[in-house]
A and B are shown apart, each in its own frame.
Chain A
């Protein structure tokens, strides 16, 4: 048992790695029909776009699906300096020779993995267009520098995530990119499921605490339109429960996990703290 944990923690692993026998399935609590939709899309190898606010479980869902489908998952977090070579690959010098090194996308295409481009809007548009040929009937990746084309492995699948809530109007996916995807909308889970998630994610969290956290989270999300860029996420609730589990008092735990991270606005944090205090002070 210990050996198995060592294999997982603090040890280099290749990014393309299928789930192994004996691995524990990632915990995911379905909210609706997203599992069925994803399975159908996978059956037809159609690219999928996961839409929804930060911290509502997009990434976890994908880990779960990859495990269910027994496919390796290659995750690339996109940022504004991400170039196409970062995705596709580049030549490296080795002595007097050059060696081509595949980028994560290329490796996923070859190995038949699920490639997950997280927060794709952050990437520069010139790097997002290279996925076009992968997302339609061609399922090909062009490696321009080597002058070759790779036919995708039959199990390869492309998934992107996209958060439409960001107030950066200048950063949006091009419609031509968007319409190549099957889109699944995510939102924060319903109360009972959210409670279940907290109890499952945080060992030792009592149903009562989960109940209060979820109720407080609901109320906090009502303030979204008052200048919050992101509202209180399920992840934040889980963090708050974890901090409580680590011995912090409830109000402080909520403050550091649910209030401080999302706003600098004094009045907003005051209002959020009112909600927290109402639910947790005895």
Chain B
């Protein structure tokens, strides 16, 4: 064949063959297609091949290899041959050329000739800026770049990148993949803010920045989720929790799942222990239905171990003796058709559970049906399942209203005694009889679920003991078991306590030593301590009794409280908090001022004052005329009632306050600091006498009480700095701290004394031997003692489980559970104002 060519071409081929056999062979394969465009064109193309090959062997090969396909799609040769020659301008550009050639056919095909020109121009400008960026650009599939929007899509992507390259030297390669995903999820307008933040992070640390741009780091995901449209479940955690409590009576654990937008449609997931909600769901209705539906699975025995066992044995799959159970073996036997079976099975099980939930939650089924009817249309395959599910719900609803109308197919499930094993049986029957379409795509699979429902087996299951079984167990049986368990615990604890007693002598010294090193720096504390020492108490601090419920008696001089000054101070943090909460503080101060006239109820019937007390005047005159000699207390005075109320804010400074908040945005301690600071600032405005203290403990003889501000002390920057420096350490021996705080009230002569305890968990210490009740009971007694000394303790906690123990310790109405940790700073002063009114 080669011999037929006129001389320049055959001459060229001969030269090429000498240079590279491989290249020659490849050129020969492409040549016929090129030759159709005429000799001039062929020569130009061959010239380009040679020049590129001379420039870089790889570049040449890539060009030749790609040419055939490009020619086919574009039906031209010269335009892209000229474009390819542009790469000669840059050293090391072969990789970019390789990408260019690979993407050319698609560029021509999807963007057209003009679009292709624009696409390549943008790429060339990047090659000119930095060749790796150009390489990354051309290596990215054109369709991804365009994102179904043609050249405009590409320009949308490139524009922010150019800006960032000019200002921040951000390389396209770092940015591109992430930016495409961001654009697809959130739209083009979201790219720039996302990338700007990324550039900032990049400057702080390269690895962190790269992770950000790969959308792998927490912060970039968080930023993405924040901008996703839809109903944000994470913000509504409290509402969802309340709804669960209302309808199911129990607090199922609600956790945020690791769902991210690429994983497809968000679902509420369940594992038999907890509910996992995604950050965002399409609508409020879907989110609430999802949570209620998930909780119904847990309540109505989807994870019932007996039924699960039955189901597994019906499927001839081994059921693990213990530990979490994987659902996968149930599906694997269906091979390629597993998704189809899974959909049918979920449909049946969901129907069973929803039918039962209707009895618990009025109007649940109608709501579910309404949400499904309002849902956007689905792909054909998904719609088959979707409509079947909807029809089954209609049937379920009919079954709740008029008894006995049950179809053969779903009938067995519309029964309160049906189990997950029944659902499995029904599903197997439907699978073999019905002509539901095969499902292979994840998108279709997801779309097949009704709003609120979702794949039930996305997590490993934790089998539960059956609910009605538990109920069937006679009350006494259950009780005695519990008692037994408790008894065992108690015994253990008692032993521990005894052991502690025996070792005491040696241990105490050891512990004291530990305390010194772990506590605040001794230097600053020394003055106060010395004074105390002079006053006769030892450096072990002040002893307090502790209540032992097991023996129903006080242990004398049992807990030792050391009063210290908080060594740490962090004025920068305080400054930051003041700035962050300046608006809240302004609002609070305004609220306090607005309250003042009523709050400072004018003193009536005074012997002197600014105004007449009309009532007093009338009765004075009347009594005078009646022949009595009343005291001339006929004035009213507007004046702060000094020393009326004294309040101590006692903050739990145990390790747990250092935890990060589940909803993100810092640690609990940040909110505590802010709360205490706002409290202090508002108290200045209110004018009541107040003190601020913190406490922590390690063993009974090392309870540290940090006085941050005493009653007599003014609110100085030193105090503010200490508030900023508050941090968590050790444990929570609350009783001892309450006793000490109560004792401190002796320094003031106010008649009304309020002890506000700010806590994040139950009283606990290292030496309580796991017997929670011990410190609970002691704290309860400490509260009682405080009350009898005229101090009103009131506990504010952020522990949502606190309803279980605080009523016993503080009594009804003497505690408050804050559902929102973020509301703590603003709430704390408000709570005080409410308490004192």
Q: A103 at the A/B interface (Cβ < 8 Å)? A: no
CB distance from B427 to the nearest CB of A (A): 29
Q: Are A98 and B622 in contact (CB under 8 A)?
A: yes
**Provided the pairs A91-B622, A167-B835, A226-B819 are in contact, do residues A271 and B813 lie with their beta carbons within 8 angstroms?**
no
B544 CB, nearest partner CB in chain A, Å:
23
Closest chain B residue to A101, Cβ basis: B622
Please choose the segment from A33-41, A128-136, A274-282 that sits at the chain B interface, where 4 or more of its residues have CB less than 8 A away. Answer: A274-282
* Pairwise interchain contact B363-A167, C-beta atoms closer than 8 A: no
Say whether, besides A169-B792, A274-B288, A275-B246, A282 and B601 are in contact (CB < 8 Å).
no
* Inter-chain contact A279/B363, CB cutoff 8 Å: yes
A25 within 8 A of B: no
Contact A270 B625 (CB under 8 A): no
**B813 close to A165 (CB less than 8 A):** yes
Question: In the complex, are the beta carbons of A169 and B625 less than 8 A apart?
Answer: no
Query: Of all chain A residues, which has the CB nearest B245?
Result: A222
Contact A93 B242 (CB under 8 A): no
A92 in the interface (beta carbon within 8 A): yes
Q: Of the candidates A80, A91, A225, which one forms a contact with B601 in the assembled complex, judged by CB atoms under 8 Å apart?
A: A80
Cβ of B685 within 8 Å of any chain A Cβ, yes or no, is: no
Assess whether A271 is in contact with B242, with CB atoms less than 8 Å apart.
yes
Q: CB-nearest residue of chain B relative to A270?
A: B239
Q: Which residues of A contact B121 (CB under 8 A)?
A: none
B834 within 8 A of partner (CB): yes
Interface residues of A in 45-68 (CB under 8 A from B): none
Contact A225 B362 (CB under 8 A): no
- The contact of B803 among A215, A225, A271, by CB within 8 Å, is A225
Check: A268 CB closer than 8 A to any chain B CB.
yes
- Tell whether B623 is near chain A: CB-to-CB under 8 Å: yes
Chain A residue contacts of B621, Cβ below 8 A: 93
- List, in ascending order, chain A residues with CB within 8 A of B622's CB: 90-93, 98
- B225 partner residues in chain A, CB cutoff 8 A: none
The B339-388 residues at the A interface (CB cut-off 8 A) are 361-364, 366-367
Contacts of B816 in A (CB 8 A): 167, 227
Interface CB pairs A-B, < 8 A, 11: A90-B619, A164-B812, A168-B837, A170-B752, A170-B792, A267-B819, A270-B239, A275-B246, A277-B363, A281-B366, A282-B366
Q: Is the CB of A278 within 8 A of B238?
A: no
Q: Judging by beta carbons under 8 Å apart, are A267 and B626 in contact? A: no
Asked whether A223 is an interface residue with its Cβ less than 8 Å from the other chain, the reply is yes
Give Cα A96–Cα B621 distance, bound, in whole angstroms. Answer: 10
- Bound-state Cα–Cα, A208 to B816, Å: 36
The verdict on A145 contacting chain B, using a C-beta distance below 8 Å, is yes
Interface residue? A27 (CB, 8 A): no
B835 to chain A: which residues have CB within 8 Å? 167-170
Contact for A91 among B236, B361, B623, CB less than 8 A: B623
Asked if A223 and B626 sit within 8 Å, CB to CB, the answer is: no
Query: Does A196 interact with chain B (Cβ within 8 Å)?
Result: no
In the assembled complex, how far is the CB of residue B795 from the closest CB belonging to chain A, in whole angstroms?
11
- Which of the four size classes fits the interface of chain B? 35 or more
Give Cα distance in the complex from A270 to B803, angstroms: 21
B residues less than 8 Å from A153 (CB atoms): none
CA–CA, A60 and B817, complex, Å: 33
A282 to B247, CA, bound (A): 18
Which residues of chain B are near A252, meaning CB under 8 Å? none
Q: Given A222-B249, A275-B246, are A169 and B794 also a contact pair (CB < 8 Å)?
A: yes
Q: Is B2 an interface residue (CB 8 A)?
A: no
Contact: B645 with A267, CB < 8 Å?
A: no
**Most chain B beta-carbon neighbours within 10 Å: one of A90, A267, A282:** A267
- Judge whether A127 is part of the interface by a CB distance below 8 angstroms: no
Query: Most chain-B CB neighbours within 10 Å: which of A145, A219, A226, A275?
Result: A226
- Given A169-B814, A222-B249: A93 and B363 interface contact (C-beta under 8 Å): no
Chain B nearest CB, measured from A165 CB (Å): 5
The interface residues of chain A lying within 8 Å CB-to-CB of B247 are 219
Contact pick for B625, options A85, A93, A145, CB 8 Å: A93
The reply to whether B813 and A267 contact each other, CB–CB distance below 8 Å, is no
A263 to chain B, nearest CB (A): 12
Residues 595 to 611 of chain B near chain A (Cβ within 8 Å) = 601, 604
Determine whether the beta carbon of A165 is less than 8 Å from that of B812.
yes
Give the residue name and chain of the B residue nearest to A169 (CB).
B792
Q: How far is the CA of A270 from the CA of B817 in the complex (A)?
A: 19
In the complex, what residues of B have CB within 8 A of residue A97's CB? 625
B556 at the A/B interface (Cβ < 8 Å)? no
B77 at the interface (CB under 8 A from A): no
Interface residues of B in 579-616 (CB under 8 A from A): 601, 604
Q: Which residue of B lies closest to A124 (CB)?
A: B601
CB-based contact A96/B625 at 8 Å: yes
The chain B residue with its CB closest to the CB of A96 is B625
Question: Does B618 lie at the interface of the complex (its beta carbon under 8 Å from any beta carbon of A)?
Answer: yes
Q: In the bound complex, what is the Cα–Cα distance between A22 and B211 (angstroms)?
A: 86
Q: Is there an interface contact between B834 and A278, defined as CB atoms closer than 8 Å?
A: no
* Closest B residue, CB atoms, query A220: B246
In the bound complex, CA of A85 to CA of B239 (Å): 49
CB neighbours of B236 from chain A (8 A): 267
Instruction: Report B793-813 CB contacts with A as 1/0, cut-off 8 Å.
Output: 010000000010000000011
Determine which residue in A97, A170, A220, A274 has the highest number of CB atoms from chain B within 10 A of its CB, and name it.
A170
| B residues 739-788 touching A (CB-CB < 8 Å) | 752, 754
Interface residues of B in 681-735 (CB under 8 A from A): none
Report the minimal beta-carbon distance from A82 to chain B, rounded to whole angstroms.
12
* B364→A226 contact, CB < 8 A: no
Whole-angstrom distance between the Cβ of A262 and the nearest chain B Cβ = 14
Within 8 Å CB of A98, what residues of B?
622-623, 625-626
